[in-house]
Amino acid sequence: MTDTTGFVDKVRDHSAVIGIYGLGYVGLPLAICFVQAGFRVIGFDIDDSKIRALESGKSYLPHIDISPLQGADGRFQATTDFSRTSGADALIICVPTPLDAHRNPDLSFVTGTMDSIAPWLRPGQLVALESTTYPGTTEEELKPRIEARGLKVGSDVYLVYSPEREDPGNPHFTTRNIPKVCGGMTEACLEAGVVLYGQVIESVVPVSSVGTAEMTKLLENIQRAVNIGLVNEMKIVADQMGIDIHEVIEAAATKPFGFVPYYPGPGLGGHCIPIDPFYLTWKSHEFGGNTRFIELAGEINSSMPEWVVHKISAALNEQNKSVKDSRILILGIAYKRDVGDMRESPAAKIMELLRRRGAILAYSDPHVAAFPKMREYDFELHSVPVDADTLPDYDCVVVVTDHMAFNYDLILEHASSIVDTRGVYRTPHPKVLKA
């Protein structure tokens, strides 16, 4: 078995330097954890605006407090200079893995980062990939790039896959207390990875291979996607029968065994659940496999914005109005409650569908001051106030993201009509149409 003593000793005495590649929703909290544990951290990102923000003490992610980085006595530095990779001992890759225009995996951020790192690799380093991806990525994409530099994985360089697990805005689960799955290319790799993450994560869960770790992450999110797809389909059936699906879920959840409640919504959002299932679907084709459950759930969840628009049209019809030229206020455009994260938000798709139909759009979101530039959507809009004076100006108010900051009683009192995609209004009301 390969001797990992040198790397492990540096980690255990906290003399190891940690390099984190990608200072976003995953990389930035991880950097904070390592700094708080006493390590020196170099944060790498290709976005110079992030580097400037961190240097000036400003967080570009509102829900992340970066004050521990400012009070770290110089133990944290952020840079766009990848040549500094040679000065780091652990190299942790936390970059996006989106889908391309054909809903195939886009690994360009992962491979591009690895290509930028590779010239500066040296013996004694550990490379860890945290980005969600299909089984085989670590072995097929990272390992050859490392060994092309003349370094042997498992002896010269340790290689692990340890999938990120983040829930932005959840105060109960943080990077530190969410158990960390870790798989290594060899036993020595696994040992080095477990020791590294064990310095900052309360519980590290070793698995037998990187493929197992890669599949674990996909299963976690695919399970949610399939169950959300199921309850979204049930919502449509219940609506056709005049039954409140939220009441059904609450009643079913009283069963003390065998039932886990999932809730319907306007579609899937975030960086994992709308994307991860397609990574496995794509990879399974290589083995001649079928992923019918996954693909069906994807179809159902992807169709939810159209269902919401159908309900908006129905609400306007009750006022003898059409979508065209109607003033529609979208409440909440972030993908989940009480965060400002717009990644894959179904609100953007709903707004685009309404715009194509000629609606006059506005939105209010206390966490998103201006509609951000997105790959598929571009709205020159800013968040507007929601109050007794402005609400009557809109023909329809659509609850897309149920932020706690909204005064739902005031909205009910002053809105002309409401389409509720989140089950905010449980008591039937003539103004409210549930979607």
Q: What is the DSSP string of 44-67?
A: E-S-HHHHHHHHTT--SSTTS--H
Based on the domain organization, do 157 and 17 belong to the same domain? yes
Asked if residue 24 is part of any domain, the answer here is yes
Predicted local confidence at residue 384, as pLDDT: 97
**Predicted confidence band at 288 (pLDDT cuts at 50, 70, 90)?**
confident
Asked if 66 and 32 sit in the same domain, the reply is: yes
209, 236, 262 - which closes a domain: 209
pLDDT band at 72; cut points 50, 70, 90: confident
Q: Would you place residue 3 in the very low, low, confident or very high pLDDT band (cuts 50, 70, 90)? A: low
Q: The CATH number of the domain where 272 resides is what? A: 1.10.1040.10
pLDDT at 159 over 60: yes
> Residue 1's pLDDT band (boundaries 50, 70, 90)?
very low
- Enter the tokens of residue 305: 């914005």
Has residue 194 been placed in a domain? yes
Domain around 230: 222-300
Tokens read off for 368: 């998103």
- The model's pTM: 0.90
CA angle 112, 117, 123 (to 5 degrees): 145
Given the residues 182, 189, 272, 396, select the one marked as catalytic: 272
Least confident segment among 71-85, 252-266, 351-365:
71-85
Handedness of CA 68, 74, 80, 81 (dihedral sign): negative
Radius of gyration of the chain measured on its C-alpha atoms: 24
Domain boundary among 247, 279, 300: 300
Name the domain boundary from 165, 180, 209: 209
Whether residue 114 lies inside any domain: the answer is yes
Is the alpha carbon torsion for 291, 297, 300, 304 positive or negative?
negative
Relative to beta strand 40-44, strand 17-21 is parallel
- For residues 166 and 150, membership in a common domain is answered with yes
- Are residues 233 and 331 located together in one domain of the fold? no
Residue 272 is a catalytic residue? yes
User: What is the C-alpha end-to-end distance of the chain, expressed in Å?
Assistant: 59
Same domain, 75 and 193: yes
- Rounded to an integer, the average pLDDT of 383-397 is 97
The answer as to whether 217 is a domain residue is: no
Separation CA 299–CA 304 (nearest Å): 9
Question: CA dist 368 to 86, 329, 337, 340, 382, Å?
Answer: 38, 15, 12, 5, 8
Same domain, 265 and 310: no
pLDDT tens-digit series, residues 25-58: 999 999 999 999 999 999 999 999 999 999 888 8
Q: Do 74 and 193 sit in the same domain of this protein?
A: yes
Mean pLDDT of 379-387: 96
- Number of helical H runs and strand E runs in the chain: 15, 13
Residue 294 tokens, joined: 């996954």
Same domain assignment for residues 25 and 167: yes
Q: Can you tell me the distance from the alpha carbon of 117 to that of 126, in angstroms, rounded to the nearest whole number?
A: 12
The verdict on residue 216 lying in a domain is: no
Whether residue 2 has pLDDT greater than 80:
no
Q: Is residue 215 part of a domain?
A: no
Q: Which one, of 362, 369, 164, 425, lies nearest residue 270 by Cα?
A: 164
433 contacts: CB under 8 Å, gap ≥ 6: 311, 314, 315, 318, 417, 418, 419, 420
Q: Is residue 14 part of a domain?
A: yes
3-state SS of the chain: helix, strand, coil percent to 5?
Answer: 40, 15, 45
Could you tell me the CA-to-CA distances from 367 to 61, 119, 259, 337, 338 in Å, in that order? 10, 40, 33, 9, 7
Neighbours of 273 (CB within 10 A): 20
Name the percent of the chain lying above pLDDT 70: 99
Segments of 148-225 assigned E as strands? 158-161, 180-184, 204-206
| H or E element in which residue 126 lies | strand 126-129
Same domain, 253 and 365: no
Report how many domains make up the chain: 3
Same domain, yes or no, for 296 and 315? no
Q: What is the CATH number of the domain that holds 395?
A: 3.40.50.720
Residue 96 and residue 197 in one domain:
yes
If asked whether residues 70 and 195 sit together in one domain, one would say yes
The residue-averaged pLDDT of 92-112 equals 92
pLDDT tens column, 190-232: 999 999 999 999 999 999 999 999 999 999 999 999 999 999 9
Examine residue 161 and state whether it is found in any structural domain, yes or no: yes
